[in-house]
Amino acid sequence: MSLRGKVAVVTGSTSGIGLGIARALAREGADIVLNGFGAPDAIDDLQRSLSKSCDIRVAYSDADMSKPPAISQMIDRATHELGAVDILVNNAGIQFTAPVRDFPPEKWEAILAINLSAAFYATKAVLPSMLTSDWGRIINIASTHGLVASAEKAAYVAAKHGVIGFTKVVALETAKSGVTCNAICPGWVLTPLVEKQIADRAKGEKISTEDAKVELLAEKQPSQEFATPEQLGALAVFLCSDAAAQMRGAALPVDGGWLAQ
């Protein structure tokens, strides 16, 4: 398929899953708006290399996904620089772990703002133009934790369950249009966010990083392998295709068998 002429905004896309998805969409010809934090020189290099290798336009927004006005400004800027947004991937996310009794309220608020509310504000901003053109793809990066829970992840689990519920509502509200909304639910993916959990486990249990990786996978993921950003990018591309036009409100696991247990 070709996404040439389409404009895609991918939040949290300067590394990890978001970057894998942005690269996959770029390879199909979509112009890309990157978003996230990082060293300015590294982001400039990423923009140039992606633009040159895929022959596309690449813009960048440093919008803070916890701030609704910044999200609106990001979509306005994308529209001004590249054209109306055709594809929105709500990927930005943060994590913090602690028992509920010890969970800092400020961490709860931050996780819900970035992992859940940001998807609402970005979707609200792009929907009018998508409905006007009668074509659009909204892809929410949820998690297996949007379908099942783990201890000490109250805010993350609550937010990701919310993302899946939100996905279904948007899918129903756009069901008679050419706009679709679906969620991807990764299991363990070796991203900076997960690498921090591995490092914390290794430090807490006084084991090697490799042993901590093995333990992490053994607990949840029967395949004993991490999913990759490239695999998630390929699924995002499929969701943008005509073959996925009647996939609406789906929550698609990429979890090495986690949810099959």
* Residue 86 DSSP label: -
Place of tokens 């486990």: 201
60 is an active site residue: no
What is the C-alpha to C-alpha distance for residues 28 and 9, in angstroms, rounded to an integer? 14
| Maximal C-alpha separation, the chain | 56
The amino acid at 138 = I
Calpha distance 27→98 (Å, rounded): 39
Residue 257, sorted as left (phi over 0), alpha (psi -120 to 50) or beta, turns out to be left
Rg of the chain on CA atoms, in Å:
18
**CA 136 – CA 244 distance, rounded (Å):** 12
Catalytic choice (108, 121, 156, 166) = 156
Quote the CA–CA distance of 106 and 120 in Å, as a whole number. 20
Positions annotated as catalytic residues are 156
